[in-house]
Amino acid sequence: MFQYIVRRILIAIPVLFGVTVLNFFIINIAPGNPVDMLVNPSATPAQIAMEKQSLGLDQPVWVQYIHWLGELLHGNLGYSYATREPVTQILAAHIGPTVLLMGTALIIGYLIAIPLGILCARKQNSWVDYLVTGFSFFGISVPHFFLGLGVIYVFASKFNILPTGSMNTLGGNGGIIDTVSHLILPASVLAIGIAGNMVRYVRSSMLDVLGKDYLRTAKAKGLRQFMITNKHALRNALIPIITVIGIDIPMLIGGAIVTEQVFQWPGLGLLTINSITSRDYSTLMAINLLAAIAVLLSNLLTDILYAVADPRIRYE
């Protein structure tokens, strides 16, 4: 197992290298450059040329890339073209809020989806099943921004029970209660999408398992239904679901970008959008690298969990 993990990590290195090359060139193919966003209306062409030179943007793209890679290997992600802050510092400030938001959304989503999915499978084709399936389609299809604006309108504007956005009350004491109250709306919006997706997997996986012979045997032995469902069936039903968790992570990153925009959640999603519109190459490259690492890691974690859940799976 240990060898397997090491091997997987080693394979990840060329993959990451390829990702950075692709990203760097794609970002550079996009028209415009950071200086366009930095100049003021009365700047002279000479000033703009000078600015480009000072940022090294007058060099060919491949030279810029090699320079960037060289800096990266020294652990330096460079400076943001926009704010001139070290990129590591910017990322460090934004990673916590995003992990908090996505983690909370993931947990809430699964806490809703797993029991509901089991219920649907147990009561197949009943009104409960139809209702939950209807809810899951709603969760999958409603856009994050629409749902976000909707809940802001209801809970913040209309009834003023929850804040409209950001992570803390400005000028307030901060603290857990304050952060949680800011977290409820964005995390719920993300969770609804995750739950909607997950319910279908849990339901079909559970249906699959419930029809198996060994469960009929368990029933014949006189085991209570509760035990059958939650002990014998659930564990086997979880195996395909673990794969879905791995697929959920990249989806979640995409959803977080939109949700963070709507709720002004100070995480990586908001940073990504702003970096794209200002062509902040260095920040964008760092975010992409981070996202690629997150996806590769979540895939690896999925495979490991797989082995944990199913003793028949062995990695050599």
Partner 1 sequence: MNVSKSSATKHILKYLLSSFMALTLVLLTACGSGSSGSGGSGKDTITLGMVNPPASFNPINTSDIAGQFAERVMFDSFLDMTSPMKFQPKLANSITTTDDQTYTIHLDPKAKWTDGKPVTADDVVFTFNLIANPASTVAVGSNLSTLEGLDTSGKLAKGQTAIPDLKKIDEHTVSFKTKAPVDPNYIKEMIGTKIITLPQHVLKNIAPKDLANSKYMQAPNVTDGPYKFVTYNNNAYIQYKANDAYYLGKPKIPKFFIKIEQASNLVADLQTGAIQANASGGIGDIPYQDLSTAKGLKNVTTTIHKQIGFQTMQFNTKTLPNPKVRQAIAYAIDRPQIVSKLLKGQGEIIDGPYTSLSPYLDKSLTKYSYDPAKAKQLLKEAGWDFNKTLNFVVPIGNLVRQQSGDIIVQNLKAAGLKVKETTYDFPTIMQKGAAGDFDLLLIGFTFNLDPDVSALYGPGGTYNFMKYSDPAATKLLAEGKAEPNAAKRKVIYNQLQAIWEKDMPVLTLYSNNEIVSISKDLSYGGPTPYWPGTVANFQKWAFKK
- How far is it, in rounded angstroms, from Cα 30 to Cα 279? 9
125 or 160: CB nearest partner 1: 160
- Closest distance to partner 1 from the beta carbon of 241 (Å): 11
Comparison of 22 and 180: residue with beta carbon closer to partner 1: 180
Say how far apart CA 267 and CA 256 lie, in whole Å.
Answer: 9
Indicate the residue among 95 and 140 with the shorter CB distance to partner 1.
Answer: 95
Whether residue 190 contacts residue 102, with contact meaning beta carbons closer than 8 Å, is answered with yes
112: exposed, middle or buried (C-beta count within 10 Å: 0-12, 13-18, 19+)? buried
By C-beta, is 128 or 223 nearer to partner 1? 223
User: Locate tokens 């995390």: which residue?
Assistant: 187
Q: Are 175 and 182 in contact (CB under 8 A)?
A: no
Q: Taking the complex as a whole, how short is the minimal distance between the CB of residue 85 and partner 1, in angstroms?
A: 5
CB nearer to partner 1: pick between 87 and 296 = 87
In angstroms, what is the minimal distance from the CB of 93 to partner 1? 6
272 Cβ contact partners less than 8 Å away, ≥ 6 residues apart: 257, 284, 287
The minimum distance between CB 169 and partner 1, in angstroms, equals 5
* Residue (129 or 208) nearer to partner 1, CB: 208
CB of residue 188 to partner 1, shortest distance in Å: 16
How far is it, in rounded angstroms, from Cα 260 to Cα 166?
Answer: 9
CA distances from 107 to 218, 240, 255, 310 (A): 31, 18, 15, 22
Q: Considering beta carbons, is residue 136 or 261 the nearer one to partner 1? A: 261
Tell me the three-class secondary structure of 12-27, residue by residue: HHHHHHHHHHHHHHHH
Smallest distance, Å, CB 113 to partner 1? 13
For the bound state, the minimum distance from the C-beta of residue 120 to partner 1, rounded and expressed in Å, comes to 19
Q: Is the Cβ–Cβ distance between 190 and 105 less than 8 Å? A: yes
